[in-house]
Amino acid sequence: MKILVCISHVPDTTSKINFTEGDTKFDTNGVQFVINPNDEFGLTRAMWFKEKQGATVDVVNVGGAETEPTLRKALAIGADSAIRVNTPATDGIYVAKQLAKVFKDGGYDLVIAGRESIDYNGGMVPGMLAGLVGANFVNTCIGLEIEGNEATVIREIDGGKETLRAALPLVIGTQKGIVEESDLRIPNMRGIMQARKKPMNVVEPIETNTNTEAVKFEKPEPRGDIKMIDPENLDELVDLLHNEAKVI
Amino acid sequence: MSVLVYTESEEGKFKKTALEVASYAKGVADMLGTGVTAVTFNAGDTSELGKYGVSKVLKVNSDKLKKFNAKAYTDALKQAVEKEGSKVVVLSQSANAKYLAPLLAVQLEAGYASNVVALPESTDPLQVKRTAFTNKAFNFTNITTDVKIIGVSKNAFGLKESSAELSEEEFSPNLSDGDFSVEVVSVDKAADKVTIADAEIVVSGGRGMKGPENWGMLEELAETLGAATACSKPVSDMGWRPHSEHVGQTGKPVAANLYIAIGISGAIQHLAGVNASKTKVVINNDPEAPFFKAADYGIVGDAFEVVPKLTEKLKKFKSDNA
Ligand SMILES: Cc1cc2nc3c(=O)[nH]c(=O)nc-3n(C[C@H](O)[C@H](O)[C@H](O)COP(=O)(O)OP(=O)(O)OC[C@H]3O[C@@H](n4cnc5c(N)ncnc54)[C@H](O)[C@@H]3O)c2cc1C
Ligand SMILES: Nc1ncnc2c1ncn2[C@@H]1O[C@H](COP(=O)(O)O)[C@@H](O)[C@H]1O
């Protein structure tokens, strides 16, 4: 089985978010980049298929050279090789079309991507990829077993979960739950050393369109002051929630 | 040319988000000088949609579509868009809508903007305001395709009544076997519980609750308010509560009217996922807890004393106002 794990290179969750160039560009100054958390859960599940079912695991990112340390980290966690499509990730469909090319060229059986990236929060790349290549797709995946050509997938729905069955090739959008937090791997010294020797294949992008254009950014208004309430006077809170906030 | 809206129902009844996206679609339709067509799947009485500005309903009634199926629903919606010649499609950000939106975008060669929080800034070009960086910023996006899909965040727009003369039409899309290549084997859903996705009010507990055995008081508070229960990440990591209750940047987003955080410190990753909520109440025994900087109302106190008392007060309030 050949698995492709899509890795989005995102600011660390503690990053302060600022913009430059008249609020049109994300300010990367002093920002640490990491593997998108949803992708990290997916990558860990891919390692299980590698170790238990003999799968090969490639990781891919659509982005500039600055994303290579993030891909190297995925290699250190255990992926076999990395692919970087050498172009900025302009919008969802643009990235999905680049990934579709990688998918077809590599003949993958399974693509694991995140439910969403924590930077742009598009929530669209995996579904678009599946739609473009005609593969089956399951989103918000929290469980995945594969036997032969058949996958059994558990999907989180609002208020519960659902079990689905689909043939490969399959694309999943995944999140925490596909593996436990405690199963996540921190690259060890040996992994880091090995990762240096693993292939980092840089491929050039195909020419294609975008459908959306991020024009500018804005930071939320700083909020007003908090009202403190004496724990001995909870009637005041009930009153404020009813008459001021009008939420009860 | 009408604006098409996907109005989700459950067991024949419309969800609140369905009425919200209908209201939004009406707002867009007014900007464009057109009407709103809703697509429903196995919904019963659709007259309620008329109150939120829908003028036409395409009713899909099919046993094959009893269970949500992303590909099949996508195919049906695509055919509805083509039938109506719609240029704008509006949907919610429920788990199901988020599942099918990118598939529909590919089918229609449409640009899709997710997490949209307001009516378009302009219609030519169509520009929308959406959240990015998990609520740490807003992003203005132009959708540059002929057909455009807008995913509207829950509670961002609210319900706007504007009655329209409603006409109904049966609609039978052509579905192929390929539409069911992903088969739904079973659905496991707690019928009586309020879900985080639907809830107006969310009661959330953190590590300050000390252990799973103490959740009874949060559940009682939640039940009093008709709220859903949620938790911080470490609480679900430790197995005190199910993963499905984990909220925050890497968990579920919460956009409730009221979010009550109990024994939660207010780490940046937690706040990112919940600060789209309108009103936030914090109960924490440490006056230095960072959450106090991000909330509307705060109580410095021991949750084990404050929560039961608050529940009593709210019970009284509810019965006085019943
Ligand atoms: C990559 C990454 C992603 C993350 N994503 C998320 C996420 O999505 N969601 C999330 O929640 N976290 C997330 N976190 C974790 C986050 O950084 C915090 O560790 C976490 O939110 C803390 O949870 P907590 O507030 O429950 O616990 P703590 O930080 O331990 O806070 C407990 C609080 O309870 C208070 N307390 C103690 N006893 C009482 C009492 N008797 N009465 C009242 N108050 C009391 C304390 O004063 C304290 O403020 C993430 C972290 C990382 C690194
Ligand atoms: N530039 C990219 N390169 C590789 N994978 C990506 C890229 N952008 C998004 N993805 C994948 O698609 C998922 C959802 O991203 P998004 O649609 O941007 O929210 C991410 O979690 C990744 O797995």
Q: How far apart are CA B211 and CA B207, in angstroms?
A: 8
DSSP state of B145: S
DSSP state of B153: P
pLDDT band at B66 (very low <50, low <70, confident <90, very high): very high
CA distance between the termini of chain B: 45
The reply to whether the predicted model has a pTM over 0.80 is yes
| Ligand 1 centroid from CA A9, angstroms | 25
| Ligand 2 centroid from CA A125, angstroms | 5
Q: How many separate domains does chain A show?
A: 1
Cβ of residue A241 closer than 8 Å to a chain B Cβ: yes
Looking at the fold, whether B41 and B155 belong to one and the same domain comes out as yes
Residue B104 near residue B77 (C-beta atoms within 8 A): yes
Tokens of residue B313, six digits = 């007060």
- Cβ contacts of residue B78 below 8 Å, gap of 6+? B104, B107, B108
Single out the residue in B150, B180, B210 at which a domain terminates.
B180
Ligand 1 atom having least distance to the Cα of B286: 47
Closest CA to B69 of A130, A142, A167, A137: A137
Residue A78 lies in a domain: yes
Pick from A176, A241, A244 the residue to mutate for testing the B interface (most B CBs within 10 Å).
Answer: A241
| Cβ neighbours of B15 (radius 10 Å) | 18
Looking at the fold, whether B232 and B289 belong to one and the same domain comes out as yes
CB pairs under 8 A between A and B: 255
Ligand 2 site, residue A11, Cβ cutoff 6 A: no
pLDDT at B192: 76
Polymer length in residues for chain B = 322
Looking at the fold, whether B132 and B223 belong to one and the same domain comes out as no
pLDDT at B198: 86
- Domain extent at residue B211: 201-320
- Looking up residue A199, the CATH number of its domain turns out to be 3.40.50.620
Residue B137 near residue B131 (C-beta atoms within 8 A): yes
Residue B241 lies in a domain: yes
Chain B environment of A132 (Cβ under 8 Å): 106
Share of chain B above pLDDT 70, in %: 100
- Name the H helices within B198-320: 216-225, 233-237, 268-274, 303-320
Q: How far apart are CA A241 and CA B291, in angstroms?
A: 18
Q: How far apart are CA B92 and CA B17, in angstroms?
A: 6
pLDDT at B1: 87
Q: How far apart are CA B230 and CA B215, in angstroms?
A: 11
Residue A101 lies in a domain: yes
Looking at the fold, whether B42 and B115 belong to one and the same domain comes out as yes
Looking at the fold, whether B46 and B159 belong to one and the same domain comes out as yes
Which residue(s) pair with A174 in the sheet? A114, A141
Residue B234 lies in a domain: yes
| Ligand 2 centroid from CA A53, angstroms | 26
Chain B environment of A183 (Cβ under 8 Å): none
Residue A224 lies in a domain: no
- Give whole-number Cα distances, A204 to A63, A64, A65, A84, in Å: 11, 11, 12, 8
Residue B273 lies in a domain: yes
Residue A147 lies in a domain: yes
Looking at the fold, whether B144 and B260 belong to one and the same domain comes out as no
| Ligand 2 centroid from CA A13, angstroms | 16
Residue B69 lies in a domain: yes
Mean of all residue pLDDT scores within chain B: 96
Chain B environment of A25 (Cβ under 8 Å): none
Looking at the fold, whether B15 and B123 belong to one and the same domain comes out as yes
pLDDT band at B163 (very low <50, low <70, confident <90, very high): confident
- Looking up residue B100, the CATH number of its domain turns out to be 3.40.50.620
Structure confidence by residue, pLDDT tens digits, B8-57 = 999 889 999 999 999 999 999 999 999 999 999 999 899 999 999 999 99
Structure confidence by residue, pLDDT tens digits, B239-293 = 999 999 999 999 999 999 999 999 999 999 999 999 999 999 999 999 999 999 9
Residue A223 lies in a domain: no
Residue B190 lies in a domain: no
Residue numbers of B between 57 and 96 with CB closer than 8 Å to A? 68, 70-71, 94-96
Residue A211 lies in a domain: yes
Q: What is the DSSP string of chain A?
A: -EEEEE--EEE-TTPPP-EETTTTEE--TT--EEE-HHHHHHHHHHHHHHHHH--EEEEEEES-GGGHHHHHHHHHHT-SEEEEE-S---SHHHHHHHHHHHHHHHT-SEEEEES--TTT----HHHHHHHHHT-EEEEEEEEEEEETTEEEEEEEETTEEEEEEEESSEEEEE-TTSS-GGG-----HHHHHHHHHS-EEEEPPPP---SEEEEEEEPPPPP-PPEE--TT-HHHHHHIIIIIS---
- Looking up residue B230, the CATH number of its domain turns out to be 3.40.50.1220
Chain B environment of A224 (Cβ under 8 Å): 296
Looking at the fold, whether B111 and B81 belong to one and the same domain comes out as yes
Asked if the peptide bond before residue B125 counts as cis, ω within 30 degrees of 0, the response is yes
Cβ of residue B117 closer than 8 Å to a chain A Cβ: no
- Domain extent at residue A54: 2-218
Q: How far apart are CA A156 and CA B187, in angstroms?
A: 10
Closest CA to B206 of B227, B226, B236: B236
CA torsion A55→A58→B98→B179, rounded to 10°? -50
Polymer length in residues for chain A = 248
Residue nearest atom 12 in ligand 2 by C-alpha distance:
A125
In the block, which residue shows the tokens 């309620």?
Answer: B48
Residue B191 lies in a domain: no
Asked if the peptide bond before residue A169 counts as cis, ω within 30 degrees of 0, the response is yes
* Ramachandran class of B226: left when φ > 0, alpha when ψ lies in -120 to 50, beta otherwise: left
Residue A230 lies in a domain: no
pLDDT band at B76 (very low <50, low <70, confident <90, very high): very high
Looking at the fold, whether B282 and B226 belong to one and the same domain comes out as yes
Q: How far apart are CA B147 and CA B160, in angstroms?
A: 25
| Cβ neighbours of B109 (radius 10 Å) | 12
Looking at the fold, whether B70 and B218 belong to one and the same domain comes out as no
Structure confidence by residue, pLDDT tens digits, B174-227 = 999 999 999 999 999 887 788 998 899 999 999 999 999 999 999 999 999 999
φ, ψ for residue B132 (rounded to 5)?
-140, 175
Closest in A166, A218, A248 to B181, CB measured = A166
Residue numbers of A between 104 and 123 with CB closer than 8 Å to B? 118-123
Distance (Å) from the alpha carbon of B165 to chain A's nearest alpha carbon:
32
Each residue's pLDDT expressed in tens, for chain A with a length of 248 residues = 999 999 999 999 999 999 999 999 999 999 999 999 999 999 999 999 999 999 999 999 999 999 999 999 999 999 999 999 999 999 999 999 999 999 999 999 999 999 999 998 999 999 999 999 999 999 999 999 999 999 999 999 998 999 999 999 999 999 999 999 999 999 999 999 999 999 999 999 999 999 999 999 999 887 778 999 999 999 999 999 999 999 99
Looking at the fold, whether B273 and B168 belong to one and the same domain comes out as no
Residue B185 lies in a domain: no
Of the CA atoms within 13 Å of residue A126, those in its CB half-sphere come to 34
Looking at the fold, whether B42 and B114 belong to one and the same domain comes out as yes
Residue B294 lies in a domain: yes
Structure confidence by residue, pLDDT tens digits, B239-254 = 999 999 999 999 999 9
- Name the H helices within B63-176: 70-84, 95-108
Q: How many separate domains does chain B show?
A: 2
Q: What is the DSSP string of B186-212?
A: EEEE-SSSPPTTT-SEEEEE-GGG-SG
